[in-house]
């Protein structure tokens, strides 16, 4: 898809010193975008503290134990974001294949390290549990953005079927094989929620990357394949079917079935959101974190706790901030110097915002229960580190776009 570039015009003084100062500020990238990300991260530290106090005490730790760890990961994430911000993204893209290869090696290792466990998602590194799938999200989206930026438009072939066969062999099949292989490794952990996130985000990026009818047909084919795979993978696990069944009955009858079994978490989420009212019960005053939501109160059900403590007003603020990230991200993509920069921004921003909206939708009963955390706000070392790194890369492209405009 062609991405139109446009120039940002701002008032400047007639003095060369004033112009240089303005150009220097512009070349830093989208400062407002960075402030929103930083603000969410700080708010996340506070919410992790609120949601984890009881769990920390139960584990015989100081009340701020998890909040302190989250603060550390935010700091490390900001450092990582600054590093990728300062290096030309074209240079980073050259190492995309190597980084993806390393992350896939970790994805295989985690299966062997936890061969006897039901969930094979973490590699223990002393006091930190490393989650390879978070690294894989970042490296996979970076790689497909790099690859799709190099893919040329389909040649002029009068026969539509022959043109599609050419596109299928050259572009679509390699894309599907790579996506399918990575998703299989994720599903083996098992982590269907992340596989869904990866598949949908990849489909959107693939769709946006082309600008002809044949590419559109390929995109539709990709979507159908992902739907079929998702359908049969869901049927393969009883707990997924149970979640979907509870969700359907909830919407049909207004009642949550099996409230002390498979429907327990959904019931506690609805109670938390409903208890918040317009302005919430106050920071730290959540009742649902008292063993009702347990250790998910600062991870998978973070939005429900925010809605309980800050009410509808706080929930609207969170949703609005992620909408801002999405819309601002697309603005940065339109202004990117080249197709590579545009696809990098689109992939990173869609990943973060789609994950956020899946989390939010789960926490208000709009979709079945899933395990997606809320970026920047939920507790998690690997996810916080990689999410902030991804936003550093977005700022990198933004800075490059402004630099190019200043040269003009």
Q: Running along the chain, 408 residues long, what does each successive block of 10 average in pLDDT?
A: 38 45 60 96 96 90 94 96 95 95 92 74 76 94 92 59 73 85 88 88 87 75 78 70 77 76 82 92 90 85 95 96 96 92 96 95 86 92 95 94 67
Tokens of residue 201, six digits = 């985000």
Going by the DSSP 8-state scheme, the letter that residue 154 receives in this structure is P
Closest CA to 283 of 301, 306, 266: 306
- Residue 14's pLDDT is what? 44
Q: Is the pTM of this model over 0.95?
A: no
Distance CA 225, CA 59 (A): 45
Provide the 10 A C-beta neighbour count for residue 309: 25
pLDDT given for residue 365 in this prediction: 84
Please report the pLDDT score of residue 221 as a whole number: 77
Strands of 48-138 (E only): list them: 123-125, 128-130
- The reported pLDDT for the residue numbered 159 is 63
Which pLDDT belongs to residue 220?
A: 82
Domain regions of the chain by residue span:
46-86+252-408, 88-236
Is residue 334 within 8 Å of 398, Cβ to Cβ?
no
Report the distance separating Cα 374 and Cα 360, nearest Å. 8
d(CA 331, CA 112): 43
Rounded Cα distance between 365 and 359, Å, is 10
CB 70 within 8 A of CB 45: yes
Residues 52-60: contacts with CB within 8 Å, 24+ apart? Answer: 52/295, 52/297, 52/298, 52/379, 53/284, 53/289, 54/289, 54/290, 54/291, 55/294, 55/295, 55/297, 55/298
CB atoms within 10 A of CB 82: 13
Alpha-carbon gap, residue 214 to 153, rounded angstroms = 9
Task: Give Cα separations from 1 to 143, 150, 153 (angstroms).
Answer: 18, 13, 10
């Amino acid at each position: 898809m062609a991405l139109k570039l446009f120039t940002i015009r701002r008032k400047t003084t007639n003095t060369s010193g004033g112009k240089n100062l303005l150009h220097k500020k512009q070349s830093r990238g989208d400062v407002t975008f960075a402030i929103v990300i930083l603000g969410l991260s700080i708010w996340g530290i506070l919410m992790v503290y609120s949601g984890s106090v009881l769990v920390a005490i139960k584990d015989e730790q100081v009340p701020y134990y998890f909040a302190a760890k989250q603060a550390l990961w935010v700091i490390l994430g900001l450092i990582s974001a600054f590093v990728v911000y300062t290096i030309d993204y074209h240079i980073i893209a050259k190492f995309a294949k190597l980084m993806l290869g390393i992350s896939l090696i970790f994805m295989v290792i985690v299966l062997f390290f936890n061969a006897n466990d039901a969930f094979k998602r973490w590699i223990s590194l002393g006091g930190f549990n490393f989650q390879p799938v978070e690294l894989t999200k970042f490296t996979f989206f970076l790689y497909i953005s790099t690859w799709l930026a190099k893919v040329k438009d389909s040649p002029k072939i009068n026969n539509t079927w022959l043109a599609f066969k050419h596109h299928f062999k050259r572009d679509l099949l390699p894309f599907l094989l790579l996506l399918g292989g990575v998703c299989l490794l994720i599903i083996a952990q098992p982590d269907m929620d992340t596989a869904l996130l990866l598949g949908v985000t990849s489909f959107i990026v693939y769709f946006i990357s082309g600008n002809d009818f044949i590419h559109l047909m390929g995109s539709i084919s990709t979507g159908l394949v992902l739907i079929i795979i998702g359908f049969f993978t869901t049927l393969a696990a009883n707990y997924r079917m149970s979640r979907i069944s509870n969700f359907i009955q909830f919407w049909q009858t207004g009642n949550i079935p099996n409230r002390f079994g498979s429907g327990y978490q959904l019931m506690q989420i609805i109670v938390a959101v409903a208890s918040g009212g317009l302005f919430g019960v106050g920071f730290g005053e959540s009742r649902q974190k008292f063993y009702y939501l347990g250790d998910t109160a600062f991870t998978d059900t973070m939005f429900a706790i925010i809605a309980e403590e800050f009410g509808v007003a706080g929930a609207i603020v969170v949703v609005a901030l992620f909408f801002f990230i999405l819309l601002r991200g697309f603005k940065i993509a339109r202004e990117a110097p080249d197709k590579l920069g545009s696809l990098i921004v689109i992939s990173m921003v869609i990943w973060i915002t789609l994950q956020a909206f899946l989390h939010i939708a789960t926490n208000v009963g709009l979709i079945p229960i899933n395990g997606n955390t809320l970026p920047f706000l939920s507790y998690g070392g690997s996810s916080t580190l990689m999410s902030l790194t991804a936003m550093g890369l977005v700022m990198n492209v933004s800075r490059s776009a402004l630099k190019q405009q200043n040269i003009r």
